[in-house]
Amino acid sequence: MASAPAEPVESTDAATPRPRRKRRVWPWVVVGVLLILGVVAAIVGMQFLSEVKTARAALEQAKTQLSTLSTELGSADQAQVQATADAITQNVAVAAEIVEGPLWNVAAKVPFVGQNVDAVQRVTRAVDILVDRALPPGMQFMATADLDKLAVEGGGINLEPFRQVQGSIPEIAAAFTAAQAEVAPIDSSSLLPEVAEPIDQITTIIDQAAPAIDIAEKYLPTLLDMAGSGGTKTYLIIFQNNAEIRATGGNPAASMILTMTDGKLGYADQASSATFYAAGTQDEEHMSLPAETTGLYLPTLTRHSQDYTFTPDFPTTAQLFQSLWTATTGATFDGVISIDPVVLSHMLAVAGPVTLASGEQLTAENAVPVLLSESYERFPNGAASDIFFADTAKRVFDHLTAASWDPMKMLAALEQSANEQRVNLAFTNPEAQALAVELGVDGALATDNVAQTQVGIYLNNSSVSKLDYHLTSAITATCDAAARTMTTTMTLHNSITDDIHSNYTLGWRNGSYGLPRTTMMLDVLFFAPHGAQITQTTPAAGDVQRWERSGVEKGNTAVSKTVFVPKDETVTVSYTVAFPEGELGPLNLRHTPTARDTAVTVDASCEALFSQAG
């Protein structure tokens, strides 16, 4: 979001942990048990039926009381809350005691019927474990953490409830581990369909909740530290502009410095690439990279901040920004966070629209076209667009920190953004970085094929333009398991319209190659994982042969081919990777996030080649 240098160089600047809303575990588990008990009642004898009815009634009471409890937790009547919780525990204990009775134990050994009865016993014991051991500390947390009041005035989150729950998380995690152990031996394929369906619902809920609780147990102290619980943390937020595409998103010309102090967000500063031109640090190399890596990219990778995202390895991008800021102002950061305008649109869908200086509103629906296309038509002058983007970024920040929004919905919006590969995090604290890795938002090139087999196809703008807002793409992957090969194909379509006239948008370099200014010039990066080889590419040679590049980054072999994508045309590129012998971790097919969703299809032929994620 800054003015371009007087003379075009290799690029120009531009505009600007899987948490989701947790389903309440207890009611769903209880409902599942009720369904199972109903099926068992149809299978066994009259005495058994009587016991089933009693157990079912106890669980139905517990289900009703759970709904009451969720309402009472927000009240000040702690005695009533405790009474309801005690009643829930008692009713579930009654059901658990019944299913351990002699008739149930005998029925569990009867052929055909037995496995169904055993499954009912196991899930009831699992519910009993969760209600007895996890509900009390969970209830205590919910009583102190009103989700509607977690946000603090001025922006941020109230950390006190999370500090209070720290000591209880190991107990909750242990309860879920024990519940998992109870249901683990159940083979749903051997059950009656009427029993198997609710059984699967219960075990799925437990299996999904347990890892999240494990992460909370492992990383809550780290998360509190990241939020400034032990002192102020400073973060650099970079905005990647997908209109001038780069490997991890786009030109990162605009940035903002934020602080976190005991959960409270603070605004520190803004910058653009013009900041570094003015300081005289923009055309200098502040951190060197191996020659085998720099050979993959234009030479501005380490000299221009707008090109720090040429590499698909986000930790390298973060280090380049850290070194630049240190050289410019002496600043250091506890972390570097990357988002794009699509992420902002997801966040505005939760927080509501922002009123801009012009009086118009920036909404979830118009944020991407306004920031990545329309603004260049309105402000063709670089200085004017800089002012617009800086003011817009500050207004969005002020709105997000001041507006009242649902924290769980915001987490879901950020999870969606992460799944679209639009969020990247890099931290100096090793524990914080380990969390980013575990959540899959570190944006790093993999260093082996154990945890994942990472195959990547990335794009870098070479026309010096903002044409890529009009780019649409789709990716397919097919495999030959016997030959241990995978072919990844990407289609690229240029949908620019005739009403685009801004010099900022149209290709600056195109004339030197005899191209219309509406033609996209894209460097396509094909990356193979460790030990793998690229056996063929389409095209075999790019449209600018002197830009043919190859190299190795973090142990990953790669080649770069430049392709031209004319207006209203579609270009297809592909490459084949031959994998080394030995077991391959789950496939992670990475790609550059564009201004629009990229459809990714992995053919079933790849299932036999890669191990499945646990």
pLDDT tens by residue, 495-526:
999 999 999 899 999 999 999 999 999 999 99
**Contact (CB, 8 A) for 373 and 243:** yes
pLDDT, tens digit (0-9, with 9 covering 90-100), for 336-353: 999 999 999 999 999 999
d(C-alpha 114, C-alpha 459), whole Å: 58
Other beta carbons within 10 angstroms of residue 423's beta carbon come to: 25
Task: Between 153 and 213, name the one with better pLDDT.
Answer: 213
Whole-number pLDDT of residue 576: 98
User: Residue 259: helix, strand or coil by DSSP?
Assistant: strand
Q: Spell out the alpha helix ranges (H) of 444-574.
A: none
Q: Does domain 233-419 have CATH number 1.25.10?
A: no
Instruction: Give the per-residue pLDDT at 150.
Output: 64
The mean pLDDT of the chain is 87
How far is the C-alpha of 66 from the C-alpha of 78, rounded, in Å? 15
Residue 266 has pLDDT above 50, yes or no: yes
- pLDDT confidence tier of residue 3, bands split at 50, 70 and 90: very low
Spatial CB neighbours of 417, under 8 Å, sequence gap ≥ 6: 339, 342, 343, 346, 423
At 10 the pLDDT is: 44
Strands 570-578 and 485-494: antiparallel
What DSSP state is assigned to residue 4?
P
Distance set, CA 597 to CA 95, 332, 421, 591 (Å): 49, 34, 10, 11
Please state the three-class secondary structure of 369-399 as a single string: HHHHHHHHHHCCCHHHHHHHHHHHHHHHHHH
pLDDT band at residue 133 using 50, 70 and 90 as cut-offs? confident
Of 329, 309, 306, nearest to 318 (Cα)?
Answer: 309
* pTM exceeds cut of 0.85: no
Is 17 a residue whose pLDDT tops 60? Answer: no
Question: Residue 609, SS3?
Answer: coil
Mean pLDDT check: name the lowest of 234-238, 267-271, 414-418, 485-489: 267-271
CA distance 230 to 432: 14
pLDDT (tens digit per residue) in 141-179? 666 655 555 666 667 788 887 887 788 888 888 888 898
What pLDDT band is residue 453 in, cutting at 50, 70 and 90?
A: very high
